[in-house]
């Protein structure tokens, strides 16, 4: 596929669990004619287990190795919208690789919004803890500075997935949306 969206041969979504990377990524890919790939889904398919099962059976370290391999394999192509897992960019080599292989867009939500979205989730092993809210808060504090180093940061609080997609398209294809001249 010939990639074209602005200067972005690939679009890579990063951000904390619950920011909507998968939902937004699918819609975005449809809108711009790119192929959607979710690293967690690829890992689940390859291993034949769900993410919580992989954590339980093999541990986080093993999951991180798989995540690293999948990121590299997927981005040998262009024309991809890639949704990454929330922890992927905490590996500095992954972060650099992503920044060199596409436009990296961080979806950013407030702590309250994230908790509302994540409190009932049973599929986020990083939040399996006696105090998941505290765990979420400390992970968020550790990770936010890395997310904020993306090429672009898009706030998602109070927006529908479609509105987030509109914001992303305005960033990557500025000639098609409102032109920002400042």
- What residues make contact with ligand S3P under the rule CB under 6 A? 17, 21, 40, 51, 85-87, 124-126
Q: Which residue number is nearest to ligand S3P in terms of Cβ?
A: 85
Question: Residue 101 Cβ, how far from ligand S3P at the closest point, in Å?
Answer: 19
Question: Residue 21 Cβ, how far from ligand S3P at the closest point, in Å?
Answer: 6
DSSP state of 35: E
DSSP state of 7: T
Asked whether 27 and 165 are in contact (CB, 8 A), the reply is: yes
Dihedral in degrees, nearest 10, Cα atoms 161, 182, 180, 98: -50
Backbone angles phi, psi at 37, to 5 degrees: -135, 135
Which residue, 79 or 86, is less far from ligand S3P as judged by CB? 86
Which residue, 4 or 159, is less far from ligand S3P as judged by CB? 159
Which residue, 7 or 46, is less far from ligand S3P as judged by CB? 46
Three-class SS of residue 76? coil
């Amino acid at each position: 596929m010939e990639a074209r969206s602005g200067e972005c041969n690939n679009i890579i979504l990063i951000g904390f669990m619950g920011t909507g990377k998968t939902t937004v990524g699918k819609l975005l890919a449809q809108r711009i004619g790119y192929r959607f790939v979710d690293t967690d889904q690829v890992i689940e398919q390859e291993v034949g287990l769900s993410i919580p099962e992989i954590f339980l059976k093999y541990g986080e370290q093993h999951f991180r190795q798989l995540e690293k391999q999948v990121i590299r394999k997927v981005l040998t192509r262009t024309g991809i919208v890639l949704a990454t897992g929330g922890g992927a960019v905490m590996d500095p080599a992954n972060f650099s690789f992503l920044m060199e292989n596409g436009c990296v867009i961080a979806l950013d939500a407030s702590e309250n919004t994230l908790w509302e979205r994540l409190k009932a989730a049973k599929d986020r092993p990083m939040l399996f803890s006696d105090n998941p809210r505290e765990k979420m808060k400390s992970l968020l504090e550790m990770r936010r500075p890395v997310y904020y180093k993306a090429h672009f940061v898009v706030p998602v609080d109070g927006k529908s997935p479609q509105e987030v997609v509109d914001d992303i398209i305005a960033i990557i294809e500025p000639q098609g949306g409102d032109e920002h001249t400042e």
